[in-house]
Chain A
Amino acid sequence: GQNIDQPTEMTATEGAIVQINCTYQTSGFNGLFWYQQHAGEAPTFLSYNVLDGLEEKGRFSSFLSRSKGYSYLLLKELQMKDSASYLCAVMDSNYQLIWGAGTKLIIKP
Chain B
Amino acid sequence: NAGVTQTPKFRVLKTGQSMTLLCAQDMNHEYMYWYRQDPGMGLRLIHYSVGEGTTAKGEVPDGYNVSRLKKQNFLLGLESAAPSQTSVYFCASSRLAGAPDTQYFGPGTRLTVL
Contact = CB atoms under 8 A, between A and B. Distances in A.
A43 B4 CA distance: 12
Interface string A29-51: 01101000000011111001010
* Interface magnitude class on chain A: 20 to 34
Interface in B1-49: 4, 40-45, 48
A89 B4 CA distance: 20
A95 B100 contact: yes
Instruction: Identify whether the interface residues of B are mostly helix, strand, loop, or mixed.
Output: loop
A98 B102 contact: no
Interface residues of B, number: 20
B54 to A, nearest CB: 14
A44 B43 contact: no
B103 A31 contact: no
Contacts of B44: 99
Contacts of B58: 96
Contacts of B74: none
Interface of B: 4, 40-45, 48, 58, 90, 98-100, 102-108
Interface of A: 4, 8, 30-31, 33, 41-45, 48, 50, 87, 89, 91, 95-102
